[in-house]
Amino acid sequence: MPYNPGIQDRSGEYLAQGIGQLGEGIQRGLQSYAQNKQMASLALGRFEGALQANPDILKFLNPEEPSPNAPSDVVKAYMRLQKDGTVGVRDASMLSTFADTYTKAKEDKQQQEFRQMQMQQMAQQQAYQKQQQDADDQMNARMQQYHRIGKELGGENSDMAAQSYGPEVVARVKKFLDSSAAQVTADGTRLTPQMRVALEQGDAT
Protein backbone atom coordinates (compact mmCIF):
# COMPACT_ATOMS: atom_id res chain seq x y z
CA MET A 1 0.00 0.00 0.00
CA PRO A 2 1.49 3.40 -0.92
CA TYR A 3 2.39 5.67 1.94
CA ASN A 4 -0.35 8.06 2.93
CA PRO A 5 0.07 10.00 6.17
CA GLY A 6 -3.71 10.40 6.59
CA ILE A 7 -4.58 6.69 6.39
CA GLN A 8 -3.46 4.02 8.87
CA ASP A 9 -2.58 0.61 7.52
CA ARG A 10 -4.72 -1.86 9.55
CA SER A 11 -4.53 -4.84 7.18
CA GLY A 12 -2.35 -6.77 9.60
CA GLU A 13 -4.91 -6.27 12.35
CA TYR A 14 -7.75 -7.49 10.12
CA LEU A 15 -5.71 -10.49 9.07
CA ALA A 16 -5.00 -11.37 12.69
CA GLN A 17 -8.69 -11.08 13.57
CA GLY A 18 -9.67 -13.28 10.62
CA ILE A 19 -7.13 -15.91 11.60
CA GLY A 20 -8.36 -15.78 15.22
CA GLN A 21 -12.00 -16.20 14.20
CA LEU A 22 -11.06 -19.07 11.92
CA GLY A 23 -9.24 -20.75 14.79
CA GLU A 24 -12.23 -20.31 17.09
CA GLY A 25 -14.54 -21.78 14.46
CA ILE A 26 -12.26 -24.79 14.01
CA GLN A 27 -12.10 -25.27 17.78
CA ARG A 28 -15.88 -25.10 18.10
CA GLY A 29 -16.22 -27.57 15.23
CA LEU A 30 -13.79 -29.97 16.89
CA GLN A 31 -15.63 -29.67 20.21
CA SER A 32 -18.98 -30.28 18.51
CA TYR A 33 -17.56 -33.28 16.66
CA ALA A 34 -16.15 -34.72 19.88
CA GLN A 35 -19.44 -34.18 21.70
CA ASN A 36 -21.44 -35.80 18.91
CA LYS A 37 -19.03 -38.73 18.80
CA GLN A 38 -19.34 -39.18 22.57
CA MET A 39 -23.14 -38.97 22.41
CA ALA A 40 -23.21 -41.53 19.59
CA SER A 41 -20.92 -43.83 21.54
CA LEU A 42 -23.12 -43.64 24.64
CA ALA A 43 -26.28 -44.25 22.61
CA LEU A 44 -24.71 -47.25 20.88
CA GLY A 45 -23.61 -48.59 24.25
CA ARG A 46 -27.21 -48.46 25.48
CA PHE A 47 -28.39 -50.11 22.28
CA GLU A 48 -25.84 -52.94 22.56
CA GLY A 49 -26.73 -53.43 26.22
CA ALA A 50 -30.39 -53.71 25.32
CA LEU A 51 -29.55 -56.29 22.62
CA GLN A 52 -27.67 -58.41 25.15
CA ALA A 53 -30.64 -58.33 27.52
CA ASN A 54 -33.23 -58.79 24.75
CA PRO A 55 -31.75 -60.48 21.66
CA ASP A 56 -35.25 -60.76 20.18
CA ILE A 57 -35.02 -57.05 19.33
CA LEU A 58 -33.09 -58.07 16.25
CA LYS A 59 -36.09 -59.78 14.69
CA PHE A 60 -37.68 -56.34 14.31
CA LEU A 61 -34.59 -54.95 12.56
CA ASN A 62 -34.38 -57.54 9.79
CA PRO A 63 -34.71 -55.65 6.47
CA GLU A 64 -35.76 -58.84 4.69
CA GLU A 65 -38.71 -59.31 7.03
CA PRO A 66 -39.78 -55.77 7.97
CA SER A 67 -41.90 -55.43 11.08
CA PRO A 68 -44.63 -52.82 11.56
CA ASN A 69 -43.25 -52.36 15.09
CA ALA A 70 -39.94 -50.99 13.78
CA PRO A 71 -39.89 -47.72 11.77
CA SER A 72 -38.03 -47.93 8.47
CA ASP A 73 -35.56 -45.24 9.60
CA VAL A 74 -34.55 -47.43 12.54
CA VAL A 75 -34.05 -50.45 10.28
CA LYS A 76 -31.92 -48.35 7.89
CA ALA A 77 -29.85 -47.06 10.80
CA TYR A 78 -29.20 -50.62 11.93
CA MET A 79 -28.18 -51.59 8.38
CA ARG A 80 -25.67 -48.71 8.33
CA LEU A 81 -24.33 -49.84 11.69
CA GLN A 82 -23.90 -53.38 10.36
CA LYS A 83 -22.16 -52.12 7.25
CA ASP A 84 -19.87 -49.43 8.70
CA GLY A 85 -19.45 -50.64 12.27
CA THR A 86 -20.51 -47.25 13.60
CA VAL A 87 -23.08 -44.54 12.96
CA GLY A 88 -23.65 -40.89 13.68
CA VAL A 89 -25.43 -39.47 16.68
CA ARG A 90 -28.81 -39.34 14.89
CA ASP A 91 -28.80 -43.02 13.93
CA ALA A 92 -27.37 -44.06 17.28
CA SER A 93 -30.09 -42.12 19.11
CA MET A 94 -32.82 -43.74 16.99
CA LEU A 95 -31.47 -47.24 17.69
CA SER A 96 -31.10 -46.55 21.40
CA THR A 97 -34.59 -45.05 21.68
CA PHE A 98 -36.15 -47.99 19.81
CA ALA A 99 -34.37 -50.51 22.04
CA ASP A 100 -35.38 -48.63 25.21
CA THR A 101 -39.00 -48.46 24.05
CA TYR A 102 -39.07 -52.17 23.22
CA THR A 103 -37.48 -53.10 26.57
CA LYS A 104 -39.95 -50.95 28.50
CA ALA A 105 -42.92 -52.43 26.59
CA LYS A 106 -41.65 -55.96 27.25
CA GLU A 107 -41.20 -55.25 30.96
CA ASP A 108 -44.69 -53.75 31.17
CA LYS A 109 -46.12 -56.85 29.46
CA GLN A 110 -44.26 -59.17 31.83
CA GLN A 111 -45.50 -57.22 34.84
CA GLN A 112 -49.05 -57.33 33.52
CA GLU A 113 -48.81 -61.09 32.95
CA PHE A 114 -47.37 -61.53 36.46
CA ARG A 115 -50.23 -59.54 37.99
CA GLN A 116 -52.74 -61.60 36.02
CA MET A 117 -51.09 -64.80 37.24
CA GLN A 118 -51.27 -63.52 40.83
CA MET A 119 -54.95 -62.69 40.39
CA GLN A 120 -55.63 -66.15 38.95
CA GLN A 121 -53.79 -67.81 41.82
CA MET A 122 -55.70 -65.70 44.31
CA ALA A 123 -59.01 -66.59 42.65
CA GLN A 124 -58.07 -70.30 42.70
CA GLN A 125 -57.07 -70.05 46.37
CA GLN A 126 -60.35 -68.34 47.23
CA ALA A 127 -62.31 -70.97 45.30
CA TYR A 128 -60.43 -73.74 47.12
CA GLN A 129 -61.03 -72.11 50.50
CA LYS A 130 -64.74 -71.77 49.71
CA GLN A 131 -64.87 -75.39 48.63
CA GLN A 132 -63.20 -76.41 51.88
CA GLN A 133 -65.56 -74.21 53.90
CA ASP A 134 -68.58 -75.68 52.13
CA ALA A 135 -67.28 -79.20 52.84
CA ASP A 136 -66.75 -78.30 56.52
CA ASP A 137 -70.26 -76.87 56.74
CA GLN A 138 -71.76 -79.99 55.16
CA MET A 139 -69.79 -82.30 57.46
CA ASN A 140 -70.80 -80.42 60.61
CA ALA A 141 -74.41 -80.15 59.48
CA ARG A 142 -74.47 -83.93 58.89
CA MET A 143 -73.05 -84.63 62.36
CA GLN A 144 -75.68 -82.41 63.97
CA GLN A 145 -78.32 -84.20 61.91
CA TYR A 146 -77.02 -87.52 63.25
CA HIS A 147 -77.34 -86.15 66.79
CA ARG A 148 -80.99 -85.25 66.15
CA ILE A 149 -81.73 -88.64 64.58
CA GLY A 150 -80.03 -90.31 67.54
CA LYS A 151 -82.35 -88.50 69.91
CA GLU A 152 -85.33 -89.68 67.87
CA LEU A 153 -84.04 -93.26 67.89
CA GLY A 154 -83.65 -93.07 71.65
CA GLY A 155 -87.07 -91.51 72.22
CA GLU A 156 -90.54 -92.89 72.78
CA ASN A 157 -91.15 -93.47 69.06
CA SER A 158 -87.80 -95.16 68.37
CA ASP A 159 -89.29 -98.00 66.39
CA MET A 160 -91.20 -95.63 64.15
CA ALA A 161 -88.10 -93.47 63.72
CA ALA A 162 -85.95 -96.50 62.87
CA GLN A 163 -88.48 -97.65 60.31
CA SER A 164 -88.73 -94.15 58.86
CA TYR A 165 -84.96 -93.67 58.37
CA GLY A 166 -84.17 -97.21 57.29
CA PRO A 167 -81.48 -99.63 58.48
CA GLU A 168 -78.56 -98.01 56.61
CA VAL A 169 -79.12 -94.59 58.14
CA VAL A 170 -79.72 -96.09 61.58
CA ALA A 171 -76.43 -98.01 61.31
CA ARG A 172 -74.49 -94.89 60.30
CA VAL A 173 -76.03 -92.86 63.12
CA LYS A 174 -75.25 -95.51 65.74
CA LYS A 175 -71.68 -95.78 64.48
CA PHE A 176 -71.30 -92.02 64.69
CA LEU A 177 -72.79 -91.79 68.17
CA ASP A 178 -70.22 -94.32 69.39
CA SER A 179 -67.34 -92.20 68.08
CA SER A 180 -65.23 -89.56 69.80
CA ALA A 181 -66.45 -87.03 67.22
CA ALA A 182 -69.99 -87.42 68.56
CA GLN A 183 -68.85 -86.69 72.09
CA VAL A 184 -66.99 -83.54 70.98
CA THR A 185 -69.84 -82.21 68.83
CA ALA A 186 -72.72 -83.03 71.18
CA ASP A 187 -72.88 -79.42 72.37
CA GLY A 188 -72.71 -78.00 68.84
CA THR A 189 -68.91 -77.73 68.61
CA ARG A 190 -67.70 -77.61 65.03
CA LEU A 191 -64.95 -79.87 63.70
CA THR A 192 -62.61 -79.46 60.80
CA PRO A 193 -61.97 -82.48 58.53
CA GLN A 194 -58.50 -82.76 60.01
CA MET A 195 -59.89 -82.86 63.55
CA ARG A 196 -62.43 -85.52 62.62
CA VAL A 197 -59.75 -87.65 60.94
CA ALA A 198 -57.61 -87.38 64.07
CA LEU A 199 -60.57 -88.46 66.26
CA GLU A 200 -61.36 -91.37 63.98
CA GLN A 201 -57.73 -92.48 64.03
CA GLY A 202 -57.84 -92.34 67.81
CA ASP A 203 -60.97 -94.48 67.86
CA ALA A 204 -59.31 -97.03 65.61
CA THR A 205 -56.34 -97.58 67.94
What average pLDDT does this structure show over 66-82? 82
Report the candidate in 142, 144, 161, 143 with the shortest Cα–Cα distance to residue 152.
161
| The pLDDT value given to residue 199 | 85
Give the predicted TM-score (pTM) of the model. Answer: 0.54
Longest dimension (CA), the chain: 153
184 exposed, middle or buried (CB, 10 Å; 0-12, 13-18, 19+)?
Answer: middle
pLDDT digits (tens, 9 = 90+) for 8-17: 545 445 444 5
Contact, 97 vs 46, CB < 8 A?
Answer: no
pLDDT tens, residue by residue, 40-66: 888 888 999 988 988 888 888 877 776
Task: Dihedral sign for Cα 130, 136, 139, 143, please.
Answer: negative
Q: What is the pLDDT of residue 20?
A: 47
Q: pLDDT for 106-135, tens place per residue?
A: 889 999 999 999 999 999 999 999 999 999
pLDDT of 146: 92
b/e 19-56 (16+ beta carbons within 10 angstroms → b):
eeeeeeeeeeeeeeeeeeeebbeebbebbeebbeeeee
Asked whether the beta carbons of 203 and 179 are under 8 A apart, the reply is yes
